Structure 1
Amino acid sequence: MSRPRQLRPTLRAVAQAAGVSTSTASLAFSGRGPVAPETVARVRAAAEQLGYAGPDPLASSLRQGRSGVVGVVVEGRLLHAFRDPFAVSVLDGLSQVLDDIPAGMLLIAQPAGTPERAITQLSATALDAVVFSLCGPDKNPAVDHLAARGIPMLGDGSPVDPRVAHVALDNRGATVALGRHLTELGHRRVAHLMMPLRHDSPTGLATLDDVAAAEFTDTRDRARGFLDVFGADDLGAELEVGAAPRLAQTAIPDVEQGAIAARLLLDLPEDQRPTAIVAQSDLLAMGVVRAADDLGLSVPGDLSVTGFDGVELPWFAGTLTTIDQHGLAKGRLMGEMLRQLLDGQRPDDVVQPTHLRIGTTTAPPVVA
C-alpha cells in the first residue's frame, strides 16, 4: 500500500499554534506590516515546529491572477545568446527591472528552422507576459498563440505585429552614420559583413537578392543602410563594384563565422580588396580583425573595421569604432515597458537612441 499524501501545513495552522490571527501571521511572514518583533519570532517558531516553509506560491499566484513569470523568447540556441555580450547586457538590464516588479524570467529557445516548436513549451507554461528579444524574425507563429491567451507581448523591433509593443532601433540610420564616417575618411571600396539574413543562411558571399529576401528585420535594415551609402537604395539595382564581392553573411553572428566570411571579402588583389568593412555586430567585427591578421593586414593601416552594438571587448587591445546601442539601458527600458503591460497599459512604441563611437579601428585609406 502506498503511503497517504502528507498535507502541507497551512498558514492558519501556524497562526493557531502561535496564538495570533491568520492576517497577523501573514504580515509576520511578508514583513510588510507593523508586527512586534516578539510576535514575528513566535510565528516563525510555530512555523518551524510545524514544518511550514511559507505561503504556497501557486495559491498566491491564483489569488493575484499572476504567475510571477515572464517568458523571454530567444531565437536559436540559448548557447549563442549567452556567448553574445550584447545579448547578455540586454537580459541583465531586463532582469534588474523584473527583480523590482517582482517577476522571474524564463528563457525559451525558439528553433530557427521550426519556430512553431516553441508553442508547445509556451502553451504548457503560465506566463504573465512574453518578451521577444535579440533579433528574431519578422513573423513569429507564437504571436497568434499568445494573443489568443491574452498574454501581453514586447519585442525589440520584431515580430512585426501591431499586437506586440516594441523597443525598436533605427538600424538603417545608425548604419548610414557608420558609412558616412568612412566616406569622410576617404573610403570608397567598402564591403559589408552581415548577420544571418534567413534562418538557413550559410556563411559565405551574399547578393542583393539575398538581402531582398531577408526574414530578419535588423539584418535587412542594416544592409539597407549600407546600401544607402555605398550602393543602390533600390535592392534590384546593381552595385558599382566591378567583379569584387561586396556582401557576405554568416550562419551564426560570432567571431569564428565572421572571420570565415571576412576572408572571402579580403583575400583579393590589393586593387580590388576593400579598404574598409562594415560589420553588423561587434563580434563579427572582431572576426574581421582576426581575418585581417591572418592575411597579414593591419587594422586600421590596411583595413578599417566598424561594428555595431557597443559591447565591452576586454580581450581587444584597441577600441572598436561602432554603434553603441546601450544594451543595459535597452534592457531596463524594456523592463519598464513590461511593467506597464503587466499593469494593463499599452505603452507607446519607443525607438532606442544610439550613438556613433569612434575608436582606433578606422583611419583614412592608404589607397583611396
Structure 2
Amino acid sequence: MPESPARRCPLSSQRPTLADVASTAGVSVSTASLAFSGAGPIAAATRERVLAAAAELGYLGPNPLGRQLRSGRSGIVGVVVGDALRRSFRDPVSIQVLDGLVSTLGEMGLGVLLIPGPSDPAEPPVDPLVLSAGMDVAVLLWGSGTHDPVLEALRRRGVPTVVVEGIPEPDVATVGLDDRRGMTELVQHLQSLGHESFACVTLAFDRQRGDGFVEPERWNEVVWQVTRRRLDGVLDAGITPTAVYETPASLVEHGKTAGFAILSAPQRPTAVVCQSDLLASGVVLAARELGLRVPDDVSVAGFDGLDLPWLAPDVLTSVAQPLAEKGATVGRAVASLLAGEMPEPVELAVTLRPGTTTGPAPR
C-alpha cells in the first residue's frame, strides 16, 4: 500500500519574504522596510505600491522575531500571579487588576505572559518561565516577602521588576496599598459599634498555605506581606483577636470553612474581620447555615470592596481598594522601567465602605 504524501505545514519556508515584496514593487529592500515601519522618508505613492505588492503576494509584514532581535526587546511583560491560575481566575480581585494592567500595556503595544505560582507547596517555588522566558519587565502581582525566590531569580537575570504590595526596595518598582491603615479603620468602626471580641480570617502566611487556627506565637512569622500588613492593621487597633484562622487562598469555600470553625467555638466572637471579601462572604454563608443572624448575632467584614450580588440581601462591610487603577498604575510603572527610569514607590488609598453585615455588638 503506497504511503500517503507528507502534509506540508502552511507556515513553510515557501511564504513570501520582504525581498519578494521589494522585487514585485520594483524598490529596494530598505525602501520596502520603510513602507512597513511607517518611519523615514518615503513617498506616499511608493508606500502604496509596496503595500499593494504585499497584498498580492500574501505577505503580512516583517517577522516579529527578527524585529525583537534587532531591537533587543521581546515586547512581552511577564506577570507572575503568585498562585495557580485556576484559583487566580476565580478571584475577582486578580481579574480586575489584570484587566487594568493589560489594558494599559495594550495601549503601549506590549503583550503579557501569565506565569503561575506553585499550586502545591511541594512544587518548586520558581516556575521555569521565570528562569527562561523572554520578557522586558516582570510584574509580581502578589507582594513578595523577604528573600523571595522569584524576585531573586529575576534579579539574577537582570529583569526590571514591579512588585505589587511588596516590600519597597531600591532596585524594584513598587505599587502598594494603604491596607494596614484600612484594616485599623475597619476594626475601629466595629469598636465604635461596641464590639470587643474579634476573630480574624487571614490569607496564607507563606507558601505552605496553611488551613486552620494559628497560635499567637506564629502571628509574627508571616512571610507574605499582604497578610502581614493586614494582620498588623488589626493589631494596631489595640485588640488581641480571640482567634486567627489562616486560609490557603482567597476563595469563598475557604472562608466558609473558617466561618464554621470560628462560629462553632464555645466562645464565639461578636465580630469576624477577614482579609478579603471572598473570605468574608464565606463566613456570612457559614453563619446563615448555623442559624446565626448577620449582623444581629455576629458582624462580618472584609477587604477589597467587591460587588457581590449573589450575597443578597447582604452587602458586605468592606475596605475598598481601587482595583482597576491599581492595574493601570502597575502598567505605568512598567512604562517607566522600559524608559530606563525607576519610578517612585506608589501607595494607593483605600476607603472604608460600611454595608449591612456589621452592626451593634449583641448584648
Establish whether residue 297 from structure 1 lines up as the match of residue 292 from structure 2: yes
Backbone CA RMSD of aligned residues: 2.4
1:107 alignment counterpart:
114
Cα deviation digits, residues 230-278 of structure 1 (max 9, x gap): 53xxxxxxx4x7xxx4211112221001111111111135xx3211111
Instruction: State the identity %.
Output: 42
Counterpart residue identity of residue 268, structure 2: R
TM-score after normalising by structure 2: 0.89
What pairs up with 1:118-197 in 2 under 5 angstroms? Answer: 118=126, 120-158=128-166, 161-197=169-205
Change beyond 3 A, Cα 1:298–1:196: same
Deviation of 1:202 (Å): 2.8
Counterpart residue identity of residue 236, structure 2: D
Deviation of 1:106 (Å): 0.3
Match of 1:247 among 244, 255, 273: 244
- Give structure 1 regions of 4+ aligned residues with deviation exceeding 6 angstroms: 32-38
TM-score after normalising by structure 1: 0.88
Q: Secondary structure at the match of 1:252?
A: coil
1:278 alignment counterpart:
273
1:361 alignment counterpart:
357
1:347 alignment counterpart:
343
What pairs up with 1:82-93 in 2 under 5 angstroms? Answer: 82-93=89-100
Q: Secondary structure at the match of 2:258?
A: helix
Rounded Cα–Cα distance in structure 2 between residues aligned with 1:46 and 1:189 = 77
Counterpart residue identity of residue 182, structure 1: L
Gap regions ≥5 residues in structure 1: 232-238
CA contact (8 A) 2:84 2:116 kept: yes
CA contact (8 A) 2:295 2:358 kept: yes
Change beyond 3 A, Cα 1:53–1:228: same
Deviation of 1:190 (Å): 1.5
Gap regions ≥5 residues in structure 2: 1-5
Aligned residues: 352
Rounded Cα–Cα distance in structure 2 between residues aligned with 1:120 and 1:170 = 33
Change beyond 3 A, Cα 1:290–1:116: same
Change beyond 3 A, Cα 1:159–1:148: same
Change beyond 3 A, Cα 1:188–1:273: same
Establish whether residue 266 from structure 1 lines up as the match of residue 266 from structure 2: no
Rounded Cα–Cα distance in structure 2 between residues aligned with 1:115 and 1:81 = 17
Q: Secondary structure at the match of 1:188?
A: coil
Deviation of 1:117 (Å): 5.1
Match of 1:327 among 316, 323, 328: 323
Deviation of 1:63 (Å): 1.6
Cα deviation digits, residues 2-34 of structure 1 (max 9, x gap): 99x726533232122123454553454355689
Cα deviation digits, residues 54-106 of structure 1 (max 9, x gap): 11101111222210001011212011111110111111111111101111010
Counterpart residue identity of residue 296, structure 1: G
Rounded Cα–Cα distance in structure 2 between residues aligned with 1:273 and 1:34 = 77
Counterpart residue identity of residue 82, structure 1: F
Deviation of 1:138 (Å): 3.7
Rounded Cα–Cα distance in structure 2 between residues aligned with 1:302 and 1:30 = 67
Report which stretch shifted further, 305-314 or 111-120.
Answer: 111-120
Rounded Cα–Cα distance in structure 2 between residues aligned with 1:135 and 1:347 = 17
Q: Secondary structure at the match of 1:163?
A: coil
Counterpart residue identity of residue 310, structure 1: G
